[in-house]
Amino acid sequence: MRREGCTRIVATLGPASSSPERIAALIKAGADVFRLNFSHGSHEDHAARYHTVRRVAAEVGRPIGILADLQGPKLRIATFAEGKVELTAGQRFRLDLDLTPGTATRVGMPHPEIFAAIAPGQDLLLDDGKVRLRIVENGTDFAETEVITGGPLSNRKGVNVPHAIIDLAALTEKDRTDLAFALELGVDWVALSFVQRPQDVAEARKLVGGRAGVLSKIEKPSAIDHLDDIITLSDALMVARGDLGVEMPPEDVPALQRRIVRAARRAGKPVVVATQMLESMITAPTPTRAEASDVATAVYDGADAVMLSAETAAGQYPIEAVSIMERIICRTERDSLYRSLMMAEVPTHDETASDAVAAASAQVAETIKAAAIVTFTSSGLTALRVARERPSTRILALTARPETAQRLALVWGLHPVVCDDCREFDDMVAIACRVARETEMAHAMQKLVVTAGVPFGTPGATNILRIVRVEG
């Protein structure tokens, strides 16, 4: 069972999509990776979903990735005496460390780190930017503000501080507990929320210890200032447009999305575009035309994957959302302009045998009209290098390690298959031809381009390219 499109689909699991029947239907519709959102739900909920995905994936015979998305240091105001107040533009409003229930003139904000990072003239955004406050005066335990954009404000709404680096660890105590639990389960990817600087990623990598891929969510303007260093330390990136769009002007987000996607592609790291892709499908059976165009834009840019959040976790039409996203992907990838737009910036290569073989595999496959490129990979590095070339030929990623196959489910164009380990070169050719036929990627007498590393099983040692013909 394999996908037609090359761009992958990440679907978030939740109350609307956790039964074995729903998960099987989502996989059939085109989902490649399932996201467990640790901002919601209990460990028991996530464990049940994890085991259901693994069981259903084994039944359908396709490696499926699982992504644990950590909540991160979410900043929130405290509560109001009446649960809600109405703020008016021009009025004064105080934020402080006092957790006494708030009024129409003040509310608690239990984050001394925010008071230490702000200054008069800066703006604070509350409730995803619906309420904007401008700081008039502040100290170590308070901020007097003027309401710039008013409106209703209720208990525990989020706080965003644009253009400020808050002295908060990227991993809260809850995140550390959730991370340990997710790694014990055996997730394939861990997503870090609200990454601000490279040190945040380095700390998480130490805790993960290679047991999962580390995916950094770019949703803070401060992360843009350190983008290259964050990419270097990460295994994958996500353009998390929700908070990024709150803290930055909306007109800046499209250009930043393209910049992040291209930077990740240059580095050969998978990149996911997320948030509000088919938002209207939470309650409607079809997306808006603007949403369809938004998905297509990410595909034209060459993103590895696009993500659905509430559409599949809590929406009324989770299966339809994945199906329509897959249709948009396939239609966009068939467009005559697709390859020229996606390849507008060709990736640079390191001066290594591995990069040379990966680049050559795409060119050779195109020249000889090969049915597929077959990569043998242990750690996944060989397959990642070939996928970075965005070849026009389909890619079979063969590995003896199920965890590698599941992690590669996030990567553009890869069809991961778990197969027997190779010890001899002739075994490699035989397995490549057999799997290509079994997956219907190649038929008798068609050509394959096979890449591997010798000695077999050595991570990153891609040094062989061979053209073979599938026997009849």
Please give the pLDDT value at position 201: 97
Q: Rounded distance, CA 386 to CA 414, Å? A: 9
Domain presence at residue 128: yes
Please give the pLDDT value at position 351: 82
Domain presence at residue 78: no
**Residue 74 φ then ψ, to 5°:** -75, 125
| Domain region containing 417 | 353-469
Q: What Rg value do the Cα atoms of the chain yield, rounded?
A: 24
**Residue 112 φ then ψ, to 5°:** -60, -25
Instruction: Respond yes or no on whether the N-terminal peptide bond of residue 250 is cis (omega within 30° of 0).
Output: no
Pair 101, 134 in one domain: yes
Locate 466 and state its tokens.
């061979």
Domain count, the chain: 3
- CATH code: domain of residue 197: 3.20.20.60
Catalytically active residues, by annotation: 35, 76, 217, 275
Domain presence at residue 232: yes
Pair 202, 296 in one domain: yes
Residue where one domain finishes, among candidates 117, 135, 160? 160
Pair 122, 218 in one domain: no
Please give the pLDDT value at position 460: 61
- CATH code: domain of residue 124: 2.40.33.10
Q: How many CB atoms lie within 10 A of CB 453?
A: 22
**Block means of pLDDT (10 residues each) for the chain, length 472 residues?**
89 97 98 96 97 97 97 92 96 96 96 94 93 96 97 94 83 96 98 94 97 96 93 97 86 94 95 96 97 98 97 97 98 96 82 89 96 94 93 95 97 95 83 93 95 72 88 76
The secondary structure of residue 424, as a DSSP letter, is: S
Residues 6+ positions from 434 with CB-CB distance below 8 Å: none
Q: Rounded distance, CA 282 to CA 317, Å? A: 7
Pair 367, 438 in one domain: yes
Pair 156, 205 in one domain: no
Pair 91, 108 in one domain: yes
The pTM of this model reads 0.92
Pair 173, 298 in one domain: yes
Burial 15-52 (b: 16+ CB within 10 A, else e): ebbbeeebbbbbbebbbbbbbbbbeebeeeebeebbeb
